[in-house]
Structure formats: structure tokens, C-alpha cells
């Protein structure tokens, strides 16, 4: 079983001073072929992963060539374009549908195509782990 674990990140919050958030490191492939890392909030309440347009630019992805959708959440609604991309979280590899909005947003990794193959374990506000499920024949 492969596992990727990350310590929570203490971040400033207007409402609460500081909060601990499950921020993970995501590895993607740039247009040049080189790998690059970015961070994302691991959000078990998000239907889909969403990366900022600046990430798409590094990847050489033409955002508006994706399937246009409107997403709604706490921040209201946002126009984004669906693409299927590969990304890694530690040793775990994903081929997932990811939405890329036309405005900068914090990156987040949601459930669709990601959490179906892993168990997500939150340990208090200290650590989050993604553990691949053992496949049985």
C-alpha cells in the first residue's frame, strides 16, 4: 500500500486568527516536460479538484479548450473548464478530471477521480494521509 502523509499547515484566518489546514504537495508536468510541485488544500467536501489558471499556464494547458461548467460553493459561483490530467501526490498517481477557472483561486484536491482509490485519514489537526486501497482479486 502506498501512502502520502502531510503535516497540517497553520494559516492566517480573518475569522479565527490561525487555523490548521490539510495542505498537500501535488506534482504535475510542465509544458517543457519537467516536473513541478504546487500545493493544494485536500478538501474532502469538494466534489472536484480545481487548480488555478497559473498552474494551467505552466502545464501549457489551454484552459478554455476544456468542457465549460459553472461550479457553486461557499464563495459563490465560478466558471471553470474541465480537463483530465495526471498528477502525483507523493507515490500516489492520479488521472483525474480537474476544473481550471479563469480567475486565480487556491488549488484544491477534491473527491472526483481521487478519493475513490484512497482512504483519507485526518489525525486531529496535525496530519493528513492518503493511503491507497489494497486491490483484491
Q: Convert the pLDDT of each residue in 55-74 to its tens digit.
A: 999 999 999 999 999 998 77
* Domain count for the chain: 1
Instruction: Return the pLDDT at 135.
Output: 59
Q: Convert the pLDDT of each residue in 23-43 to its tens digit.
A: 999 999 998 999 999 999 999
Instruction: Return the pLDDT at 76.
Output: 81
Task: Identify whether 54 is part of a domain.
Answer: yes
Q: Convert the pLDDT of each residue in 75-126 to its tens digit.
A: 788 999 999 999 999 999 999 999 999 999 999 999 999 999 899 999 999 9
Task: Identify whether 137 is part of a domain.
Answer: no
Q: What is the CATH number of the domain that holds 102?
A: 2.40.70.10
Helix (H, G, I), strand (E, B) or coil at 47: coil
**Contact (CB, 8 A) for 64 and 82:** no
Instruction: Return the pLDDT at 137.
Output: 47
Q: Which helix (H) or strand (E) holds 53?
A: helix 53-59
Instruction: Return the pLDDT at 72.
Output: 86
* Residues sharing a CB contact under 8 Å with residue 74, sequence separation 6 or more, in sequence order: none
Task: Give the Cα separation of 116 and 46 in Å (integer).
Answer: 13
The parent domain of residue 26 ranges over 3-132
Task: Identify whether 25 is part of a domain.
Answer: yes
Task: Identify whether 51 is part of a domain.
Answer: yes
Amino acid at each position: 500500500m502506498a501512502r502520502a502523509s502531510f503535516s497540517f499547515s497553520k494559516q492566517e484566518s480573518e475569522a479565527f486568527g490561525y487555523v490548521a489546514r490539510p495542505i498537500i504537495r501535488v506534482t504535475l508536468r510542465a509544458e517543457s516536460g519537467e516536473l513541478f510541485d504546487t500545493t493544494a488544500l485536500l478538501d474532502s467536501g469538494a466534489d472536484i479538484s480545481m487548480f488555478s489558471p497559473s498552474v494551467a499556464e505552466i502545464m501549457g494547458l489551454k484552459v478554455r479548450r476544456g468542457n465549460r461548467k459553472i461550479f457553486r460553493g461557499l464563495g459563490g459561483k465560478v466558471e471553470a473548464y474541465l480537463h483530465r490530467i495526471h498528477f502525483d501526490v507523493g507515490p500516489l498517481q492520479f488521472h483525474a478530471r480537474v476544473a481550471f477557472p479563469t480567475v486565480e483561486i487556491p488549488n484544491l484536491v477534491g473527491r472526483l477521480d481521487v478519493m475513490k482509490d484512497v482512504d483519507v485519514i485526518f489525525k486531529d489537526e496535525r496530519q493528513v494521509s492518503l493511503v491507497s486501497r489494497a486491490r483484491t482479486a
